[in-house]
């Protein structure tokens, strides 16, 4: 284990954990001092489960006061593409009603989106008004780029809709097949045709946000993250080429010329340095404040619909795209961000995220509850904005409030953790 703690072996609490995933999180849990894995029917204090397990078991599971689990019951209000947009649209309307159009405009960070088939006719009207534009179709509940395609002709959507209709009406299909088709809703989203390019290639950002409570809202932002690059130079003349338009690692690693040693990722610190050198520090500071705004507004948009539970926390993987004007766009939020590493550097970064996630969850009860930083996590919202120590008395209604966030900055987590978990008098560091 990389980190060291102040409790002696005799005093260290034992945490029984259950883990349904076989990747980096399993390694982190096994290395954590005092934590023991339990088998299928064993009683657990901590459960890192997948969303399928949650859906099948959460409502039938009794949890004692100290128990923690890694998802909120209806996490999908933010992490399903159609629900995310629905909640953001509702929140934007609420802001316009209560605070005016300028405040509502702070939520204009997601592309124009329609849910299909429900909003098909609304989509067609908008499609005809913007002839020649490129759109992207995405299944609402799939990941890793599966089922996504770009289109410019209404015929492509019409054919897709007819196939769906035939499948739903086909009485020869089994009930399971009908259900599979029925839940496969899509969103049609206006494609960002002018992405910011580096060496001619498109990229997006994967950023980690942790929520430990929705009522009151308490959210943490991790300093590390990464940019995922496409393997092929960007061009709108080849909208059928997934290697050009989809940055998902699951897609890019199947490219014929993909180099597993080189990979297709930059650490977010490297990206921030690049942007600062090319533009200016002030420009990049503004950009990252606008990214902070995306995190806060999106969480507030679901605060009243998420079923809050003191046993639950969530590690979200936010996907952010930059356009060539350095405007950030929210593409989607993942409830189960990939924890499988694509390189040694990626593995070490994900280990840091997961170790510090466990520090924030604090099964060992070492925190006071007043911390503004734990390892690589900075507390950015605690029933209201959390400001940096040097920030003035700004408010959320400011055009860009200065949150206590340091995305892409130095992550000196080991020093901070050593300072925070100093040995108590008479105790030796293990």
* 175-231 pLDDT tens trace: 444 444 454 789 999 999 999 999 999 999 999 999 999 999 999 999 999 999 998
User: Mind listing the pLDDT tens digit for each residue in 380-427?
Assistant: 999 999 987 655 554 444 444 567 899 999 999 999 999 888 764 444
Instruction: Calculate ∠ Cα 247-250-254, nearest 5°.
Output: 95
pLDDT over threshold 90, residue 100: yes
Calpha distance 38→228 (Å, rounded): 35
Structure tokens at 347: 């593995």
List, for residues 6-19, the tens digit of each pLDDT value.
444 444 468 999 99
pTM of the complete model? 0.89
Number of helices and strands (H, E) in the chain?
14, 16
pLDDT in tens, 118-172: 899 999 999 999 888 999 999 887 777 778 899 998 888 776 666 665 555 554 4
DSSP letters along 206-269, please?
A: EEEEEEEEETTEEEEEEEEEEEEE-SS---TT-TT-HHHH---HHHHTTSTT--TTT-SEEEHH
Q: Which uninterrupted H or E stretch holds 367?
A: none
């Amino acid at each position: 284990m990389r980190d060291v703690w102040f409790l002696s072996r005799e005093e260290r609490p034992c945490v029984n954990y259950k883990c349904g995933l076989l990747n980096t999180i399993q390694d982190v849990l096994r290395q954590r001092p005092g934590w023991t894995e339990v088998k299928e029917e064993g009683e657990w204090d901590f459960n890192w489960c997948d969303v399928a397990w949650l859906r099948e078991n959460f409502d039938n599971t009794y949890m004692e006061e100290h128990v923690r689990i890694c998802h909120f019951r209806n996490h999908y209000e933010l992490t399903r593409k159609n629900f995310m947009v629905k909640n953001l649209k509702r929140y934007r309307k609420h802001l316009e009603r209560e605070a005016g159009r300028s405040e509502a405009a702070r939520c204009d960070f997601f592309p124009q989106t329609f849910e299909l088939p429900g909003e098909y006719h609304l989509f067609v009207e908008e499609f005809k008004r913007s002839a020649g534009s490129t759109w992207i179709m995405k299944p609402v509940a799939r990941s890793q780029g599966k089922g996504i395609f770009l289109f410019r002709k209404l015929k492509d959507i019409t054919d897709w809709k007819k196939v769906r209709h035939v499948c739903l009406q086909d009485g020869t299909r089994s009930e399971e097949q009908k259900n599979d088709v029925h839940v496969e809703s899509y969103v049609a989203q206006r494609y960002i045709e002018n992405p910011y390019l580096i060496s001619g290639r498109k990229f997006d950002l994967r950023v980690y946000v942790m929520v430990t409570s929705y009522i009151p809202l308490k959210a943490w932002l991790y300093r590390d993250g990464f940019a995922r690059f496409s393997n092929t130079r960007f061009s709108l003349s080849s909208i059928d080429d997934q290697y050009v338009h989809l940055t998902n690692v699951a897609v890019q690693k199947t490219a014929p010329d993909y180099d597993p040693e080189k990979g297709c990722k930059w650490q977010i610190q490297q990206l921030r340095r690049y942007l600062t050198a090319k533009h200016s520090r002030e420009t990049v500071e503004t950009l990252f404040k606008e990214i902070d705004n995306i995190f806060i507004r999106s969480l507030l948009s679901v605060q009243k619909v998420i079923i809050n539970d003191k046993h639950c926390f969530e590690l979200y993987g936010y996907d952010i795209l930059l356009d060539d004007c350095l405007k950030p766009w929210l593409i989607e939020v993942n409830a189960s961000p990939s924890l499988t590493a694509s390189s040694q550097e990626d593995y070490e970064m994900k280990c840091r995220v997961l170790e510090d996630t466990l520090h924030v969850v604090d099964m060992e009860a070492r925190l006071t509850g007043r911390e503004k930083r734990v390892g690589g996590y900075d507390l950015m919202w605690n029933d209201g904005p959390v400001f940096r120590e040097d920030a003035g008395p700004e408010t959320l209604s400011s055009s860009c409030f200065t949150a206590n966030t340091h995305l892409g900055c130095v992550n000196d987590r080991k020093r901070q953790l050593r300072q925070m978990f100093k040995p108590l008098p008479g105790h030796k560091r293990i």
